[in-house]
């Protein structure tokens, strides 16, 4: 039963990872597995047998969750782009208050302001040099996608979907997930896993250090990442021609997305 519960937790974390705005890391924290996961990944040379079982079961569950939703999300983006973006935006906005509460656990000061500005600027700059990034060697792109996916998976609150959409790489990411789900492991998939695993180890070490040092300050950075990602995603969406009907449907979906994230996070915070 213990292993089955761990598998189920992994499945829901995987589903949360695919649904924009619902942070897989936040759900992992609610389930009580986040801290152990980060600690294991920050010390890969000291992994024990029980840790291996933990990672395998959680990983299998997460992979199943990702595979079940990746095709559906891809279809929505190809056929109803703008309403889908507003749904995703509502999901992201719905999760902002939880991160804000963590950031407010210590008084506002100059350090918080500087962290927010620096983190916001980093995401803004990174996304706005996408034209340069897209000219990278194709192999390096897949390593970079794996690294970004790792960063958005490990750090609670950051919307990987928003970042990948703004970069124009979300379809590429979903295609990778489809290949993995069909066990079509090619060179590009291998590069993706290389970037993901290497970055996960490094970021886990950094997260462990930052959260132990000043959790409220760390969440201020997370909040900045979320806000910057949100602005970039909306900027990309409004570049297209939008009909009145699309706008109306999009607003309804935004409200649904906002409500869904609030209820989803509230439910799992009580478990």
Give the pLDDT of residue 26. Answer: 66
Contacts of 112 (CB under 8 A, 6+ apart): 103, 106, 216, 217, 220
Select from 158, 165, 163 the least CA-distant residue to 223: 158
Per-residue pLDDT of the chain (271 residues; tens, 9 = 90+): 677 788 888 887 887 777 665 667 766 766 778 778 888 888 777 788 888 888 888 888 888 887 777 777 778 877 888 888 888 788 778 777 777 777 777 777 788 888 888 888 877 676 665 545 555 556 778 888 888 888 777 876 666 766 777 677 777 787 787 777 677 777 888 888 899 888 988 888 887 887 778 878 888 887 887 787 777 777 777 777 888 898 899 899 999 988 877 776 666 665 5
Give the pLDDT of residue 189. Answer: 84
How far is the CA of 199 from the CAs of 6, 204, 234, 259, 266, in angstroms?
Answer: 24, 8, 27, 33, 30
Asked if 212 and 89 count as a contact pair (C-beta separation under 8 A), the reply is no
Give the pLDDT of residue 255. Answer: 92
Give the pLDDT of residue 145. Answer: 86
Asked if 10 and 67 count as a contact pair (C-beta separation under 8 A), the reply is no
Q: What's the gap between Cα 2 and its chain centre?
A: 27
């Amino acid at each position: 039963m213990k292993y089955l519960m761990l598998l189920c937790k992994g499945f829901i974390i995987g589903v949360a990872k695919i649904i924009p705005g619902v942070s897989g890391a936040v759900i992992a924290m609610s389930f009580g597995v986040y801290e152990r996961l980060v600690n294991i990944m920050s010390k890969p040379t000291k992994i024990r047998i029980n840790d291996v079982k933990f990672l395998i079961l959680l990983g299998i569950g997460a992979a199943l969750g990702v595979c079940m939703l990746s095709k559906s999300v891809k279809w929505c983006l190809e056929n109803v782009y703008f309403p889908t973006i507003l749904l995703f935006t509502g999901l992201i906005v719905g999760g902002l208050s939880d991160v804000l509460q963590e950031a407010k656990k210590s008084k506002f000061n100059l350090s918080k302001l500087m962290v927010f500005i620096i983190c916001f600027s980093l995401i803004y700059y990174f996304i706005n040099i996408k034209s340069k990034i897209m000219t990278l060697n194709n192999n390096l792109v897949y390593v970079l996608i794996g690294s970004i996916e790792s960063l958005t998976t490990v750090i609670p609150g950051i919307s990987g979907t928003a970042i990948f959409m703004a970069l124009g790489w979300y379809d590429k990411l979903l295609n990778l997930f489809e290949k993995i789900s069909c066990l079509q492991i090619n060179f590009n998939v291998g590069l993706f896993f290389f970037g993901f695993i290497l970055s996960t180890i490094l970021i886990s070490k950094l997260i462990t250090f930052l959260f132990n040092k000043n959790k409220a300050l760390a969440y201020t950075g997370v909040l900045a990442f979320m806000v910057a990602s949100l602005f970039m995603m909306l900027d990309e969406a409004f570049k297209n021609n939008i009909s009145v009907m699309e706008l109306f449907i999009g607003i309804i979906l935004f409200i649904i997305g906002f409500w869904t994230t609030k209820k989803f996070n509230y439910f799992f915070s009580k478990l």
